Amino acid sequence: MKSETSSRGFLRGALLGLALVGGLWLLMLAGQLGRPVPSTHWVEKAYEYKLAQANTIQQPKVLVVAGSAAMFGVDSKAVAEALGRPVVNLGVNAGILPPYIQSYARQAIKPGDWVVLPVEYPMFHGRYSINMSFIDYWWGHPGFRRLDVNLVQLAQVFWLTPVLRAVDGYRGLPSGFKVSGLYGPQNLDQHGDQINTQSSQQEVWMHELVERSGVERYGAQAHAWNANWASWKALADEVTAAGGCAVFVPPPMLDRADYHQGKERRYYTSLPEQARLHGLNYVGSPLDTLYPMDRFFDTNYHLNAAARTLYTRHLIELVKPEFDRCKAH
**DSSP, residue by residue, 110-159:** -TT-EEEE---GGGGS-TT---HHHHHHHHHS--STTTT--HHHHHHHHH
The length of the chain, given as a count of residues: 329
Gap between the Cα atoms of 264 and 10, Å rounded: 52
Torsion of the alpha carbons at 137, 138, 139 and 142, rounded to the nearest 10: 130
Distances (CA, A) of 78 to 68, 110, 298, 307: 18, 22, 23, 13
What residues of the chain score a pLDDT lower than 70? 1-11, 13-15, 17, 19, 21-22, 224-225
Give me the pLDDT at residue 297, please.
Answer: 98
Q: Are 308 and 75 in contact (CB under 8 A)?
A: yes
Q: What is the pLDDT of residues 228-248, one digit of tens each?
A: 999 999 999 999 999 999 999
Q: Write down the CATH number for the domain with range 36-328.
A: 3.40.50.1110
Give me the pLDDT at residue 22, please.
Answer: 67
Gap between the Cα atoms of 292 and 284, Å rounded: 19
Give me the pLDDT at residue 235, please.
Answer: 97
Beta strand extents in the chain (DSSP E only):
62-64, 87-89, 114-117, 245-248, 253-254, 290-291
Gap between the Cα atoms of 300 and 303, Å rounded: 8
Q: Are 313 and 79 in contact (CB under 8 A)?
A: no
Q: Per-domain residue ranges for the chain?
A: 1-31, 36-328
Give me the pLDDT at residue 6, please.
Answer: 61
Burial pattern 93-117, b for ≥16 Cβ within 10 A else e, equals bbbbbbbbbbbbbeebbbeebbbbb
Half-sphere exposure of 191 (CA within 13 A, CB side): 25
Amino acid at 273: E
- Give CA 52 to chain center in angstroms: 19
Q: What is the pLDDT of residues 305-326, one digit of tens each?
A: 999 999 999 999 999 999 999 8
CA-nearest of 281, 204, 198 to 239 is 281
Give me the pLDDT at residue 258, please.
Answer: 96
Give me the pLDDT at residue 224, please.
Answer: 64
Q: Are 89 and 70 in contact (CB under 8 A)?
A: yes
112: left (phi over 0), alpha (psi -120 to 50) or beta: left
